[in-house]
Amino acid sequence: MTVKSISNLADTKPLQFRVGGMTCTGCAASLQKVLEQRDNVTTAVVTFSSGLATVDGTNLDPQDLARAIQGRGFSAELLTADHAHQHLSDSEQLQAEREAAWKRRAVVGLGLWLPLEILHWTATALHWHGTWMPWTMFTGALVILVFAGSAFFRSAWSAARQYTTNMDTLISLGATTAFVYSAIVLFLNLNQPMYFAEAAGLLGIVSLGHWLEARASAKAGSAVRELLRLQPETAEVLLPDGRSQTIPTSDVVIGARLQIRPGGRVPVDGVVVEGQSAVDQSIVTGESMPVEKRPGDQIVAGAMNTTGQLIVQVTCDGRNSTVTRIADMVQKAQSSRAPIQRLADSVSSVFVPTVLIIAALTLAGWWMAGQFSTGVISAVTVLIISCPCALGLATPMAVMVGTGAASRRGILIRSAETLERLGSATHVVFDKTGTLTAGSPEIQQLTPQPGTTDEELLQLAASAEAPSEHPLARAIVEEARNRHVELLPIQNFAAVPGRGVSCDIAGRNIVVERDEHATARVLANGQLLGTLQLADAPRLDAADAIRCLKGQDLQVRMLSGDRISAALSVGQLVGLESTEITADATPESKAQTIRSLGDHVVMVGDGINDAVALAASGLGVAMASGTNVAMEAASVVIPGDRVTAICELIDLSRATLRTIRQNLFFAFFYNALAIPLAAFAFLGSSGPLWAALAMGFSDVTVVGNALWLKRRLEHGHTHRHVR
C-alpha cells in the first residue's frame, strides 16, 4: 500500500463537529434527526462513542450548524483540516474522561445506596420504626439525586427545552417521581410506603451501566488509537549544517530530510534518498515480510526500520501521514450508520413518547382501581425498564468492533453500510491480472513479421506502452530496459481500457492491442509488425482464496480482458471451472456481468480496467497495490499481497452482521417482555430496582456480545497468522 495509493482514501469533505455534553445514544439520535431536517443537509451522522457529528450537503453554513447543535444543549466545535487529526488523538482522552465521570457517579450512587439499603432491610427485620430512619433515607437519596442524577437531569432538561424527549427523560422522570412521591409521604406523615432507596438505587445502577458502556466503547474503538500510536510523536530532522534536531512529528514539513535509525519507526511518509534497509510495514500495509528499501523507494509512516540507517525526504506534512489518514478513514467507518440501524432509529424516535403514555395509563389504571401507591411504583418501573439504551448500542458497538478488527488486518472499510452488505454477499468476482495473478508478467516470446526485428518490435511496443499503468504495459517496458532498448518519443497517446493503446512515433501511428492468438499485437499504420506473448503466474495464495470462498457457500467467478486460453490457464491453476471464467471482457462488459448477478456481488480488482466494474458492484474491493482509479471506485481496500484477505473480510462481515441482528433481537425482546411485567406490577414493590438491574443487564448483554465478537475476531486473526 503506497503513499500515493492511500492519499485519496479520505477524500470527502463533509463538515465535522466535536459535540460535547451527550450522555447517551439517545442524545446522538435526537441531534442527528435535528441536523437531517435542516435545509441543504444531505446526510448527518452523530456518534455518541466518538463525540462526532458529521454533516454533508450543499452550501453548508458551519456557524448555523453549530448554533443548531448548541440549541439542543450541546457544545459544538468545528474541526478543520488543520486539527481534525487532533480529534483522533484526543479520542482516548475524551473516552477516559467520560469513563471517569460515570465511574464517580456510580461509586457515589452505589456507595451511598448499598449502606442505605442494608440499613433499611435491617431496620425492617428488627422492627426499628424510629422517625430517624425515613429522614436518613431521604437525606442519602437526595445526595445521590444531586450528584449521580445531575447528568441525567441536564440531558432531559435540554431535550425538554426543545420539546422532545430522550432516554434520560425516562430515567429522570422515574427517579424524580419515586423521590418526590416518597418525600410527600414523609412530609405529610402519610401511612404509605416510601421509595427513597429505589430512587437512589436506580441512579446508582444506571450510572454503573453507563460506566461499563464507556469502558466497552473504549475497548471497541481501540483500533484508531492503536493506529495512531504507530506514528512516533517526534522526528529527527537533519539540518543544513549536518546536525540533527528532534522536533514534534506534527511540525514536520514537506521537503524536510529525516534520519531513521535502526529499530525506529518512520514518523512521516517520504522517499528514501540515502541508505538501504529492510523495513517492516506489515502493521500499515499488511505485507507479511520486511521490504527492502533503497534510494528512490517510497516509505510510509508507522513502518519499522529493522537493520540499516535511512535518510528520508518527506512528501507530506506531519499532520497528514498515511497512518493519520487510515485512522481517519477507520473512524469515519466506525461513526457511520448501517442501514439496519434505521430500524432501531425508527423505533427509538417514537419509543420514549409511547413509554410516557404507557406509564401515564398505568398510573391512571391503578389509581382508578384504588391503588394509587401501586400505580406510582408501577409507572416508575415502566419508565425505567423501558429505557431503550440497548437499542441505541446494538449496531454501533458491533460496527466499531468489526471495522476495528478489519483495520488490524490491513483491511480498510469505508462505511458501516459496506460492512453490512458484505455480510449478505452471494457472489465474489475477481479480475485476473494483478488480482489472482501477481501482476508481474514477463515476455515469453517475440514474433516479428518479415522485415521487422525483435529489437524494433520491442522498441515500438515499449515506447507506446510507456505511459500506461497496465501490468502488461509495465512488463513490456521493463523488458525493453533490460535489453537496453532505447524508448522513442511519442505523441498523441491514447488508451482504450480493455483494448490497447495508440500513439504517433516518427510519423507513424503505432497501435498495441489485444490479439486472439497472442497477448498483444503491434501495428504501424494498420500493418501488422508482430506479436508479443506474455505470461503471468497466479499469486501463491490465489487457490487458497478461491477454495476458502467456495467453502463459505459463495459463487466465485473470474473476469478477464485477456484471451480465453490465457484466462482458462490461470483459472485452472487457481481452482476455477471453465463455466466460472469470462474472458475477452471489456470494462463495459465486466460491469454488465456484475449487474446481471444481482445486488449482492463483491468485485475484486486492482486496475483502471476494473474501475467501472468496481463501481457497478457497489461492493468493490481494491487491492492496495493497484491504481488510484481502482481504489477511488472501491468500497474496501485489502492488502496488496494477500488475496485471502477477501475470505477474512467476508467472514468478519458475516460475524458482525450476525452480532448486530442478535443485539437488536435482545433489545426488542427485552422491552417487549419487560413493559407488561412492569405495568401490571408483577415486579412488586421493589419494581424500580429490578427494572434498573434488568435495564443494566440488557445493556451489558449487547455490549458483552459485541466484545465477544471482538475476542472471536482477534482469535481468528491470530490463528490465521500462526497457521
The catalytic residues are 431
User: 289: how many CB neighbours lie within 10 A of its CB?
Assistant: 10
Closest CA to 300 of 9, 4, 582: 4
Q: Cα dihedral sign for 114, 119, 120, 126?
A: positive
- Grid cell 466545535 is found at 77
The packing angle between helices 645-679 and 542-551, to 10°, is 30
- Grid cell 492496495 is found at 624
- Rounded to the nearest 5 degrees, what angle is found at the Cα of 638, between the Cα atoms of 634 and 641? 130
Q: Where are the alpha helices (DSSP H) in 37-166?
A: 62-71, 84-126, 132-147, 150-161
In whole angstroms, give the CA distance from residue 172 to residue 157.
Answer: 9
Beta carbons within 8 Å of 82's beta carbon, 6+ residues apart: 319
In whole angstroms, give the CA distance from residue 169 to residue 356.
Answer: 9
The SS3 assignment for 157 reads: helix
659 backbone dihedrals φ, ψ, rounded to 5°: -65, -40
In whole angstroms, give the CA distance from residue 395 to residue 194.
Answer: 39
Residue 326 CA, chain-centre distance (Å), reads 10
Beta carbons within 8 Å of 564's beta carbon, 6+ residues apart: 583, 584
Give the strands of the sheet with 527-535, arranged side by side. Answer: 442-448, 527-535, 520-524, 508-514, 500-505, 491-496
Q: Which three cell numbers stand for residue 600?
A: 449482492
**Intra-chain end-to-end CA distance of the chain, in Å:** 24
- Grid cell 484471451 is found at 563
In whole angstroms, give the CA distance from residue 700 to residue 58.
Answer: 40
In whole angstroms, give the CA distance from residue 703 to residue 396.
Answer: 10
Assess contact for 185 and 176: CB atoms under 8 A: no
In whole angstroms, give the CA distance from residue 378 to residue 359.
Answer: 8
In whole angstroms, give the CA distance from residue 576 to residue 570.
Answer: 9
Assess contact for 53 and 67: CB atoms under 8 A: no
In single-letter form, the type of residue at position 456 comes to E
Assess contact for 477 and 488: CB atoms under 8 A: no
* Burial zone of 313 (CB within 10 Å; 0-12 exposed, 13-18 middle, 19+ buried): middle
- DSSP per-residue codes, 258-301: EEE-TTPBP-S-EEEEE--EEEE-HHHH--SS-EEE-TT-EE-T
Helix, strand, coil % over all residues of the chain, rounded to 5: 55, 20, 30
Q: Which three cell numbers stand for residue 149?
A: 442524577
The SS3 assignment for 576 reads: coil
Give the strands of the sheet with 291-293, arranged side by side. Answer: 291-293, 277-280, 304-305
User: 543: how many CB neighbours lie within 10 A of its CB?
Assistant: 17
* Burial zone of 198 (CB within 10 Å; 0-12 exposed, 13-18 middle, 19+ buried): buried
